Amino acid sequence: MYKQGTVRDAKNIFLLTMKLVLSRLTSCCFYATVLLFLTAACSVNSSVELPANVTVPALLLFGDSIADTGNNNYIKTLVKCNFPPYGKDFGGGVPTGRFCDGKVPSDIIAKELGIKDTLPAYLDPTVLPQDLVTGVTFASGGSGFDPLTPKLVSVISLSDQLKYLKEYIGKLEAMIGGEKTKFILTNSIFLVVAGSDDIANTYFTMRARKLQYDVSAYTDLMANSASSFTQKLYELGARRIGVFSAPPVGCVPAQRTLAGGAERKCAEPLNEAAKLFNSKISKKLDYLASSLPNGRFVYVDIYNPLLDLIQNPQKYGFQVADKGCCGTGGFEVSILCNQYTSVTCANVSDHIFWDSYHPTESAYKALVSLILGEYVNKFF
């Protein structure tokens, strides 16, 4: 047996040795230390094969309901879903504020990259310090690139999401220091998902911009705003930035009901507006990539994969593409999709859409699988 004094002496020698080693760390070793710190925070296995010597310490999301995991729970707005039947397939049927029956792309991408199982909402007061280190979402259901879009429904604008990012950076710096924070910002993936609310709600349904802009001018406004927001992310330290295209919003069940005629076909004017915006933002991202040093600006096409899913549901294992699972499936969304007035379908996994606007977890998983396979290496 060891004597107590011997153990204490050995412990002191070990601590002094470690202190000496740490004091002589080179910058290379510093980054290795950061990697070890981040590895300890991440316990989820990645299903995506990253290039050698590449790390993605965190995932940060911005935009609308596609990426919102509960921020709208903590603001005064009618655009909420923190009640049943939302969350029907999420962790025992818990309505978290995700506009889905289960996980949304924010969660699925975080898990596929091996970062964590779910991506918490930044405004959630229960978020722990280690949650911040590996990423959060600042997105707000109902938001958009047009500054008027979030005002119309009292949700968090992209400019306010940017303010929250600055606050987040300050919290990281206070917790782990400036150098580690810079490392996280430089190596993390930033994703922006917006545009569908601008087109579907602000322009076509509410017609709030139609007197000021034709479709071409309005998509210019959207693309300029998206480009400006992306550049501001870069200025705050982001280097790996992806911007999702607008989806075929004319094919979501709500727009089929509102503008698809008696046969509820896809509303093509909305789809044409989405395609016009997509062509413009793609070119702007190419310009940013050529003009901003060390920046990776990735245009992520969601339009065509989702359209293929809708047009060929059986190919992906789905049966219903034109109606949501909640209620009649034709118009229920947010507060209209609730446990008192809306019965859900018998088999959610048969449906591409959960409510009249948002896909099911099963559809999101199919889309994320397609997207990551095509785009993940473009960030490095």
Q: With cut-offs at 50, 70 and 90, classify the pLDDT of residue 130.
A: confident
* Residue 89 annotated as catalytic: no
* Residue 351 annotated as catalytic: no
CB 132 within 8 A of CB 175: yes
Catalytic residue among 157, 227, 358, 362: 358
Q: Identify any residues that bridge with 300 across adjacent strands, giving them in sequence order.
A: 244
| pLDDT attached to residue 39 | 44
* Residue 65 annotated as catalytic: yes
The answer for residues whose C-beta is within 8 angstroms of residue 15's C-beta and 6 or more apart is none
Q: What is the distance between the alpha carbons of residues 56 and 46, in angstroms, rounded to a whole number? A: 11
* pLDDT tens digits, 60-97: 999 999 999 999 999 999 999 999 999 999 988 999 99
Give Cα 174 to chain centroid, integer Å.
25
| pLDDT attached to residue 46 | 66
Catalytic residue among 107, 355, 356, 362: 355
Residue type present at position 327: G
Q: What pTM did the predictor assign?
A: 0.89
* pLDDT tens digits, 232-284: 999 999 999 999 999 999 999 999 999 999 999 999 999 999 999 999 999 99
Q: What is the distance between the alpha carbons of residues 141 and 150, in angstroms, rounded to a whole number? A: 9
Q: Torsion over CA of 308, 310, 315 and 318, rounded to 10 degrees?
A: 150
Catalytic residue among 65, 140, 196, 245: 65
- Among residues 320, 336, 195, 330, the alpha carbon closest in space to that of 270 is found at 195
CB 53 within 8 A of CB 28: no
Q: What is the distance between the alpha carbons of residues 205 and 270, in angstroms, rounded to a whole number? A: 10
* pLDDT tens digits, 105-115: 999 999 999 99
Q: What is the distance between the alpha carbons of residues 147 and 209, in angstroms, rounded to a whole number? A: 11
What are the CB-based long-range contacts (under 8 Å, 24+) for 53-58? Answer: 54/380, 55/187, 56/113, 56/114, 56/115, 56/187, 56/188, 56/189, 56/240, 56/379, 57/115, 57/133, 57/134, 57/183, 57/184, 57/187, 57/188, 58/115, 58/133, 58/134, 58/135, 58/184, 58/188, 58/189
| pLDDT attached to residue 13 | 38
Q: What is the distance between the alpha carbons of residues 206 and 6, in angstroms, rounded to a whole number? A: 78
Average pLDDT over residues 302-318: 98
